[in-house]
Amino acid sequence: MTGAVFLVIVLIGMYYMEFIITNALELDYAGMAKYVLVLYILLLSLFSFVTVSVSSIRYEVSKNRVKEYYSTLQDLLAYYEEEEEGVREESALW
């Protein structure tokens, strides 16, 4: 995101280059820098919040799916053990 923000600021600066050059001495550079910094921090906070929210939801869904998979795997292992015991009992009868 930082690279994209930097490119957008450069593009905006290039778009307003004539205004910047003609008013270079009267511009409030500190005010502009504060505005850009506050905007950057707000956008970074917003995107971080969205990313954490989406990731948390995906994690919970995946965790539930892993629980289901593990339960099914345990059932399958129990079935195979029962099947193996049945084969052993049949071979012992011969």
Our CA dihedral for 28, 32, 33, 35, rounded to 10 degrees, sits at: 140
The residues near 44 (Cβ < 8 Å, ≥ 6 apart) are 1
3-22: pLDDT as tens digits? 888 898 899 999 999 998 99
> What is residue 82's predicted lDDT score, i.e. its pLDDT?
87
Asked whether 47 and 1 are in contact (CB, 8 A), the reply is yes
60-83: pLDDT as tens digits? 999 999 999 999 999 999 999 888
Asked whether 34 and 42 are in contact (CB, 8 A), the reply is no
